[in-house]
Structure 1
Amino acid sequence: MTDRAKQWRKKAVRAAFLIHRWLGIGLGALMLLWCLSGMVMLWKPWPQPDEQLARLAHEPLRFDRPPVLPDLHGSYRQFRLVMAGSVPVLQVMDDKAESRNYDLRTGQILGPKDIYPDPAALAEVAGRYAALEGETVPPVFRGLRRVDQWILNTKGHDAGFYRFDFDSPRHTILYLSPLTGDVVQATTRKTRFWSWLGAIPHWLYFSQLRRHPVIWSDTLIVLSGLGVTLTTLGLWIGLRRFRVGRRLSPYRGTHLIHHATGSVFGLFLLSWILTGFLSMNPAGLMAHKPSPLWMSQWRGTLPASAVEETVAALTRVPHQSFRDILALPGVHGTRLLVTDAEGNPQRLDLTLAPSPLTASELVDTMAQTGTAAEVTLLQNDDAYYFSTHHKRRVFPVFRLIGKDRARLYLDARSGEALLRIDTAEKGSRWVIYGPHDLDFFSWLREPDARLWIILPLLCGVSLICLSGLWIGVQRCRHRRHSPARLDRATRNRSGRKPRRHARS
């Protein structure tokens, strides 16, 4: 190696040390915060409403007077009938997956520019949900909210949700869709407390930042990208500083702790920060693609007349108590996915007789619509559809695997679509979310694994960040009080070089 090459090599090594040092000073606190908040999220996730209670919050569908059906034309993917408080609502989804809602008392469309159901009526829905959670006080309406802290990641928040507060020790806050009365978010004083220690700092989900999606995303991409650089340089420097002999490390004190923990846990820290960076889809690298067409086409479509048939079937048997009715196409005619008075899902035909979904019916339906997929009945987890500490999956399910290897999971009781996994999401599962959550295997998803494997690893990477932060703080204090810095400060104040006193 020539002298010039050696000189450039020394400069590059020096630059790497300086970049690692100053990135550590700038990002140390944030990296530590990400690690500590990750510990909280092992047991306390972002709050979500209970799906079963959300179904039970709706009144059973009823028509106090003959329903007024809107004038519909064309074909539709599905129809939904539900009570938004005391208002019977029809929700239609066309073949482009665009939804519209109608008040069946008048046949008028419901929407931001038209008419919303009365908030007082939806207060009954909020009260029923909260009562099932243990609340005993009435709800207080707080208006239509679009940018509250707890709904910024909820689909449809741009149109706004009705907020209801409960003045009780639990201090429950509920958000309801003003169009359908669905409970879309539910928080309590306890879940909000843990979110401020866990999910909010971990995802930088502060409402002042999160309400600007592009700025929020770019901020996370830049900060996590710098974190990847910091960690990669740290691993490289740590390897360079290893010695062969009695002492493996040249460091002492806090520097030794930082070197040792970085050597043991550094790869886990790099994995977590790198997968967090990739989850933000930098430069569109991990962009999600639209679901494959076969997932939306395999059922076929419903004619507009199916609404009349469904309403007629329900009014013929008025004593039935269904809290939610979803009409979907089937190979043998329209099928109804209903939620009964106890909140249990059922699949019925238009005579309201049970019509359980079968594998042969799925195959016949796909043959009729010109689609094809492998059909398997699952009783337990697979690699993509599995239960975790935070979410219990429904079983049994039908798994449909298309020719593109994308997957669709259907509730075997009702036929409801539970999960869609396209090819891009399959890749993300193994490249991003599997390494980030460390849930590749069923035993890793058990509570004991969280406690005895994941938590110690998080403690190890937290110690890397804590020791690095302490080194950075000490470095800044040393620079602030160094003799050269004090001399410069004195010179700047007096305008002349400070006089040196003779030694006695």
Structure 2
Amino acid sequence: MKRYLYLWHRWLGIVTCVFMALWFVSGMVMLYVGYPKLTPREHLAHLPALSAQGCCVSLGEALAVADPQPARIRLSSVAGQALYLFDYASGKALAVDATSGQRIAPTTRERALASAGQYDPHAPMTYRDAVQEDLWSHSRALDAHRPLHRVQLSDTDGTLLYISGQTGEVVRDASASERGWNLIGAWLHWLYPLRGIGLDGLWSNLVIYLSLAASVMALLGAVVGVMRWRFSRPYRSGSRSPYKGWARWHHVGGLLFGALAITWIFSGLMSMNPWRLFSSAQPLDTSAYQGGPLNAAAFPLSVPQALARFADQGFTARELEWRLIGGAGYVVGQDGAGRTRVLSMHDGQVLQRLPRAVLEQAAQAIGPAMQVQQLEAYDFYYYARAEQSMLGHLEKRLPVLRVRFDDPAQTWLHLDLYTGEVLGQLDQPRRASRWLFALLHSWDWLPLLTRRPLWDGWMIVLSLGGLVLSVSGVVMGWRRLRR
């Protein structure tokens, strides 16, 4: 039996240790440089203030030329024009000119350059091409905007912009520094080199089964390592390990860092939601929270009136969003710093935060609520991360409402008091993912996250230990194959 443990560990290690070494190196890069994305703050910072002069056709006119039943409606500036932007549950996006009321055609080269010019009016630029997908646009969030036009800016950051082929918006920016670090960061960590070479359909399963093989290999290694360590009396050499050279580094490194290596590889496997372990069989339907489809009747105030109300409060809006909460209409304004104000269509008041009772009443339409709690501080399930992390760009403001429902999946909703937005669903499978992925993989634990650089030191030391473990395994595997 011992022999089979050694053999399985050895040959699985020869296959997977190279990937483990790559994962540890790229993971350390990802602590500080994330995969390129356009964060909401970056998006707003590059928009001009909305002007009521010459704007706009009514929301009803814009809806008449758009497709029916949009999931989201915004007013923003694209390529120097005010546009109504419509997003749909099907994953489609389209735009309507807010001045003429005409539907915007798919983006042309000239419009892409104009959009890039709004993003940075001072930088020389070069139109590159239009692509469906490339190294820095492997993201399902961009599917509604494909094809993507690429425009290279000659600014100090060497920024590459991705322009929506449907609406003309800038939907992603990637600086030269981000692109360079990501070649040994997220792009490598997620094995994106396997995409774009005809393996896209197999990519997910390749990552899952490589991670599974590495998890088994590391677990077997931990068992073998303990078996080979002399706890009571040393070997004749005086050492408690029978190995020398790289093998000794591997043995001792495995005893020190093996358990953490196992948790990291296993939690990386969990990040892929293998075999849909974290997908609920009965997800909670939250459509009733809105209280009906978005339609013009719920928003009697025009765009100029809404902008004037915001301006009266000293608030300069760069983007507007129309939102229904429990059947009542609200217009959410955002400024260049990401701050928000809410204009109630009921009484025309501009609010910094929505009344808690409004959100509670809207949530009751979804189903029976077990408990409603207002969080004044972050906890294990609701917390903010650094912007470069995978979901760090998502706004996690306080206070926030947590509503627990008595549905089969025991779902929790987090409701943003500043905008009324449903920030996310946490049912039982997703809460399990919080433990098995986020906690074990990136140590999303508040006592560490709130005490940086303690968290940084913890992650780097453990990563270096895992790197020693995997590199020594690569060396021994190479020597074995050469024999």
- The reply to whether TM is greater than 0.5 is yes
C-alpha distance in 2 between matches for 1:432 and 1:415: 28
Q: Select 1:362's aligned residue among 349, 354, 359.
A: 359
Tell me the equivalent position of 2:323.
Answer: 328
The aligned counterpart of 1:18 is 7
TM-score w.r.t. length of structure 2:
0.83
Q: Give, in angstroms, the shift of residue 466 of structure 1.
A: 1.5
Report the Cα offset of residue 330 of structure 1.
Answer: 3.7
Rounded Cα–Cα distance in structure 2 between residues aligned with 1:66 and 1:233? 66
Residues 1:126 and 2:128 aligned together: no
Amino acid at match of 1:245: R
Q: Give the equivalent residue in structure 2 for 1:215.
A: 202
Structure 1 residue 228, shift from structure 2 partner: 1.5
8 Å CA contact 1:176, 1:185 repeated in 2? yes
Work out the CA distance in 2 between the residues paired with 1:128 and 1:304. Answer: 30
* Aligned match of 1:349: 344
Q: Report the Cα offset of residue 221 of structure 1.
A: 1.6
Distance 1:210 1:352 in 2: 55
Question: Partners in 1 of 2:385 and 2:322 — Cα distance?
Answer: 31
Distance (Å, rounded) in 1 between the aligned partners of 2:422 and 2:138: 25
CA contact (8 A) 2:55 2:98 kept: no
Is residue 281 from structure 1 mapped to residue 278 from structure 2 by the alignment?
no
1:186 CA displacement: 1.2
- What are the Cα deviations for residues 307-349 of structure 1, in whole angstroms up to 9, with x where unaligned? 7735466489599553221111245831101124665311002
Q: Is 2:300 aligned against 1:309? A: yes
- Residue aligning to 1:174: 161
Distance 1:368 1:425 in 2: 23
Residue aligning to 1:58: 47
What residue identity is the alignment partner of 2:398?
P
Residues 44 and 337 of structure 2 are in contact (CA less than 8 Å); yes or no, is this contact kept in structure 1?
no
Q: CA deviation at 1:354?
A: 0.4
By relative contact order (CA 8 Å, sep 6+), the higher-ranking structure is: 2
Amino acid at match of 1:195: N
Q: Which amino acid aligns with 1:354?
A: V
The reply on whether 1:152 has 2:138 as its aligned counterpart is: yes
> Which residue, 238, 245, 251 being the options, matches 1:259?
251
Shift of 1:116: 2.0
- Asked whether 1:195 is paired with 2:182, we answer yes
TM value normalised by structure 1: 0.80
State the Cα distance separating 1:423 from its structure 2 match.
Answer: 2.9
- The farther-off stretch of 66-75 and 410-419 is 66-75
Pair 316,380 (structure 1): closer, same or farther in 2 beyond 3 Å? closer
Kindly tell me: are residues 318 and 341 of structure 1, through their superposed partners in 2, closer, same or farther at Cα, counting changes over 3 Å?
Answer: farther
Contact 2:411 2:427 survives alignment (8 Å):
yes
Q: Secondary structure of the equivalent of 1:335?
A: strand
| Mapping 1:96-495, distance limit 5 Å | 101-105=95-99, 107-110=101-104, 115-117=105-107, 119-130=109-120, 136-157=122-143, 159-206=146-193, 208-209=195-196, 212-243=199-230, 244-247=232-235, 248-287=240-279, 291-293=283-285, 295-302=286-293, 304-306=295-297, 309-311=300-302, 314=305, 317=308, 322-330=317-325, 333-340=328-335, 343-350=338-345, 353-355=349-351, 356-367=353-364, 372=369, 374-390=371-387, 391=392, 393-403=395-405, 404=407, 405-444=410-449, 446-477=451-482, 479=483
Higher mean C-alpha deviation, range 345-354 or range 234-243: 345-354
Gaps of at least 5 residues in structure 1 are 1-11, 480-504
Distance 1:214 1:221 in 2: 13
Q: Does the CA-based 8 Å contact 2:44-2:336 persist in structure 1?
A: no
Q: Is the 8 A contact 2:277 2:429 kept in 1?
A: no
Distance 1:88 1:307, change over 3 A: farther
3-state SS in 2 of match to 1:413: coil
* Range that drifts further, 120-129 or 353-362: 120-129
Question: Any idea what the Cα deviations from partners look like across 1:128-176, whole Å, max 9, x if unmatched?
Answer: 4346xxxx42332333321111111241336222222112442101113
CA contact (8 A) 1:32 1:462 kept: yes
SS class of match (2:322):
strand
* Cα displacement string for residues 465-487 of structure 1 (whole angstroms, at most 9, x for unaligned residues): 1222222222233x2xxxxxxxx
